[in-house]
Amino acid sequence: MTIRHGPGRRPPAVVRLLLRVLVPADEREFFLGDLREGRRRSWLREILGVLSLRFVSPPGPRGRPSDRGDGMFKELLADLRYGVRMMVRSPAFTMVALVTMALGIGVNTAMFSIVHGVLLKPLPYPHADRIVYLRANNLSRGWSSFTIAPLNFWDWQKQNHSFQAMAAYQSRGMTYTGGDEPQVLHTYQVTDRFLGILGGEPTLGRGIAAADLEPGAADVVLLSHGFWERTFGGSPSVLGRTMTLDGRPFTVVGVLPARWHSFSSSTLDLVTPLKPRPYWYTARGSHFLRAVARLKPGVSVEQAQADLSGIAAALAARYPDSNKGWGASVQSLQDAVVGSSRAQLLILMASVGLVLLIACANMANMTLARAMVRTRELAIRAAVGAGRGRVVRQLLAESTVLSVAGGALGVLLAYGSVAALVAGWPTLLPRSRNIGIDPAVLVFALGLSVASGVLFGLVPALTVVHPRLAGSLGQGGRSTTGDRSRRWLRAALVAGELSLAVMLLVGTGLLVRSFAALQKESPGFQTDDRLVFTTPLPSARYGDDEAVEQFVDGSLARLQALPGVESATVANMVPLRGSDEIWGLWLAGHAVPGAQEDASALFYRVGPGYFKTMGIPLREGRGITPDDRGDTLRVAVISASLAQQCFPGEDPLGRMIKFGRGDGQPSVEVVGVVGDVQHYDLGRASVPQVYVPFAQRPTRGVSFVVRSSVAPASLVSAVRGAIGAVDPDQPLVGIETGREMMEGAVSLPRFRTLLMSIFGLTALLLATVGLYGVLAYSVSQRTREIGVRVALGASRGSVLGLIVREGAPLVGAGLAVGLGGAVALSRIFKSMLFGVGTHDLLVFAAVPLVLALVALVAMLIPARRATRVDPVRALGESSP
């Protein structure tokens, strides 16, 4: 790691951080200045230079340890210095130890910085522990978390005794047409208490007032600090200016604080008032609001939950038609934001914890082996009056110096890898802007290093300091009699490492198998040669259905005329793109229509040729055609699973369904059945689908799908031109090819599989090195015995067998314990698995096989060395 830099170049952050720790404060400024001014130098060499001055060289007059502290501290310093000297003296040992600890502590530090940033750090709002997230639910229908109907929200607001303030909000994209080109901005529509609850009081101008929510109030907008700087150069004169959003004028009234972020993972650009619409006052069954609230001081989440549940139950009794089965849930905002990533992060954190345990076992093993070699030195120390405690302290200091040095390297490793981790993690990781190596993470790494040093140093230290130690003095340090218990201990450590590695590898294997299955999973449509994009139409310019249809027809005509385009179609939504629309449906002539719908389905509004363009197979009947216009017979195509659910064992063609209760709703005739698609995620049971002609149910949320005969990405600018020709103010958002859609759908499983694979292989590597170390040491200790055997005519095969027989029980025990542990633990992976059981036979057979093979190699290397023992030399070495 030699980083060269030219003169005047700023030292990297890591170097500055290290120097800040190592160089005394009164010299730091000059030192850093000199480093920056100086000729090309290696940072590593400079850091090592400073390090060696601090710890190795005799203390100068300014830093004499006897000047400060008592005897204990002096002793500790001396021990530490001795530890550093021991490191320098046996470079091979030190290298292996440093790499081992750097790996162990590095992956833990990296993982912890993520866990810390995502799970542990409180949200950056005042009294964040009192902010809660409110949801509706309908457990009888299996919906544990649902958006809230406005009438219910208002009743909760009026009747509760738990909250200081409640606020409802919605989030959506709004098209801004004042800049260079139209762009879609991420906006929140919020009620008046929203910013107060989240501590987002504007730094400039005013917030959202209750009067802004009145139906006739003028449209106002607040800018996020980032958007204000990007778009208006941070000018205070922006207040009072007008912005055109979705074709309507909005007056800028405020700017949000610089360090204030919304709790969603995407960047927030604008905040506008959430104005109730007339239909909000009539439909208690329409759920679309989200809500946050601030608990009164002293009120717990549980109390608030009980309060709100009581209110919801009363509403359900009072309005059974709309509210039967509907409840409310209160969750701390932090839990709501972190959501399902908590379990995954904790599993990954536990996995790296196992890697560190293996690393520590390895270190304990190496230190034990070295302690055996050093028995004589330690015996001398004891003989000249070092007490038992003194020797233990010294050995602990040595192991701690090693592990802290390894930990420092580990932090560098983590520093580099965290950025890559955060970048590589799909956007599904919440709060990723909080992740980084901060003081808390550094303290964690230091604590972990010291704890590891003590852990792997203590066992050897205690076995070395044996009452019979003095006996070693006379034996030239070659005693093997006292080794029996230590040898047993080393064997147990290696078996333990192997068993931990088995558990990690089983976890890895399950995820890999699951990922492979996921990749083979068909989404139900074709993804090659497809290009998808969305262009939301603003209500101000597209107020009526006719305008929408004109835009859609014009766009489709231009798209289809483009060279390289085979077909193009329109839809309100496309699978795997996050947005959805679900409607309840009633079967006509199916008993008396009750309050509850008969089924609910994803409600696709699609243009002619949608199924052909998407590559969704038509199973029965017909698809949507150009003849399905607004004034023709209302028709629908349903997915196979919906047909199965609504018309089991019957012919669905010609059956009538309704979207909505009551006689006023038009009946719709089922004219076709198509294959199911995966709308949300690959590998999850999907909600059934129903398709109606776009022309019969137009909407302003418009997506286009293009099927191409050329590479779809090459069509992007032509497609932009085609839409721009129809309406130059329409932005194109979320342009992606079908392949990219699929990539996005498997990116989270791909990433966690990759992480687990890295952890599993690290574990395998460390455990194998451990096994090799024990056997290699054993061979070196048994050289004489092997020499005798060879002299007496033992064959190569029998010598080989001798060593393999020594290792085989370790491997066997490790495998047995590890498989047992894996059987017990693999359940925790269940939520991450697809198409593979937690006790998958292939994985449980392959892991021990792979491990046994690798172990065999680790055994054969020292065993082959044993067969080459020259009896004459081996026996000659015996005289001390």
Partner 1 sequence: MGHTGEFELLVILAVRRLADDAYGVTILDELEERTSRTLTLGTVYKTLGRLESKGYLETRTAPPTRERGGRRKKLYEVTATGLEVARSSLADLRKLTEGLEPDLEVP
Contact residues toward partner 1 (CB under 8 A) are: 7-8, 10, 23, 27, 29-39, 41, 45-46, 48-50, 52-53, 57, 60-62
List 293's β-bridge partners, or say none: 132, 166
Quick check: helix, strand or coil at residue 223?
Answer: strand
Q: State the minimum distance, in angstroms, from the CB of residue 49 to partner 1.
A: 3
Work out how close the CB of 551 gets to partner 1 at its nearest, in angstroms, rounded to a whole number.
56
Give the shortest CB-8-to-partner 1 separation in angstroms: 5
Q: Are 130 and 165 in contact (CB under 8 A)?
A: no
Q: Using DSSP bridges, classify how beta strands 220-223 and 327-332 pair: parallel, antiparallel or unpaired.
A: unpaired
Encode 535-564: b = buried (16+ Cβ within 10 Å), e = exposed.
Answer: bbbbeebbeeeeebbebbeebbebbeebee
Nearer CB in complex with partner 1: 23/702: 23
Nearest-5° Cα angle at 736, 732 to 738: 140
| Nearer of residues 14 and 687 to partner 1, judged by Cβ | 14
Nearer to partner 1, 21 or 217 (CB): 21
CA distance 148 to 652: 34
In the complex with partner 1, which residue's Cβ is closer, 9 or 873? Answer: 9
Q: In angstroms, what is the minimal distance from the CB of 58 to partner 1?
A: 11
Q: How far, in Å, CA of 34 to CA of 23, rounded? A: 13
Give the CA count within 13 Å in the CB-facing half-sphere of 234.
6
Name the burial class of residue 864, with classes exposed (0-12), middle (13-18) and buried (19+) by CB atoms within 10 angstroms of its CB: middle
User: How far apart (Å, rounded) are the C-alpha atoms in residues 370 and 463?
Assistant: 12
Q: Which is nearer to partner 1, 53 or 791 (CB)?
A: 53
Tell me, letter by letter, the H, E, C secondary structure of 632-698. Answer: CCCEEEEEHHHHHHHCCCCCCCCCEEECCCCCCCCEEEEEEEECCCCCCCCCCCCCCEEEEECCCCC
**Least gap, CB of 40 to partner 1 (angstroms):** 12
Least separation in angstroms between residue 46's CB and partner 1 is 5
- Beta carbon nearer to partner 1, 46 or 676: 46
Tokens 């950025």 belong to 419
Q: Whose Cβ is closer to partner 1: residue 7's or residue 234's?
A: 7
Query: Which residue, among 133, 136, 155, has the nearest Cα to 147 in the 3D structure?
Result: 136
Q: How far is the CB of 28 from partner 1 (least distance, A)?
A: 9
Q: Which is nearer to partner 1, 18 or 308 (CB)?
A: 18
The answer to whether residues 202 and 195 touch, using CB atoms and an 8 Å cutoff, is yes
Task: Tell me the residue type at 199.
Answer: G
Q: What is the 3-state secondary structure (H, E, C) of 475-502?
A: HCCCCCCCHHHHHHHHHHHHHHHHHHHH
User: Contact 425/432 with Cβ under 8 angstroms?
Assistant: yes
Q: Of 58 and 389, which has the nearer Cβ to partner 1?
A: 58
CB of 11 to partner 1, least distance (A): 9
24 or 728, CB closer to partner 1?
24
CA distance 673 to 690: 9
Quote the least distance from Cβ 88 to partner 1, whole Å: 16
- Amino acid present at 677: V
Which structure tokens are listed for 212? 């802004």
Q: How far is the CB of 743 from partner 1 (least distance, A)?
A: 42
Shortest distance in whole angstroms from residue 160 CB to partner 1: 56
DSSP-assigned letter for residue 296: P
Q: What is the CA radius of gyration of the chain?
A: 35
- What's 765-784 look like in SS3? HHHHHHHHHHHHHHHHHCHH
Question: What is the C-alpha separation between 585 and 666, in angstroms, rounded?
Answer: 12
Nearest distance from C-beta of residue 12 to partner 1, angstroms: 13
Distance, in Å, from the CA atom of 95 to the CA atom of 102, rounded to the nearest integer, reads 10
CB 37, min distance to partner 1, A: 5
User: For residues 36 and 275, which CB has a smaller minimum distance to partner 1 in the complex?
Assistant: 36
Nearest CB to partner 1, comparing residues 42 and 171: 42
Cα separation, 825 vs 461, whole angstroms: 33
Complex with partner 1: residue 52 or 522, whichever CB lies closer: 52
Q: Check: CB of residue 497 under 8 Å from CB of residue 766.
A: yes
Could you tell me the smallest distance in angstroms from the CB atom of residue 34 to partner 1? 4
| C-beta of residue 688 within 8 angstroms of C-beta of residue 601 | yes
Which CB sits closer to partner 1, 50 or 618? 50
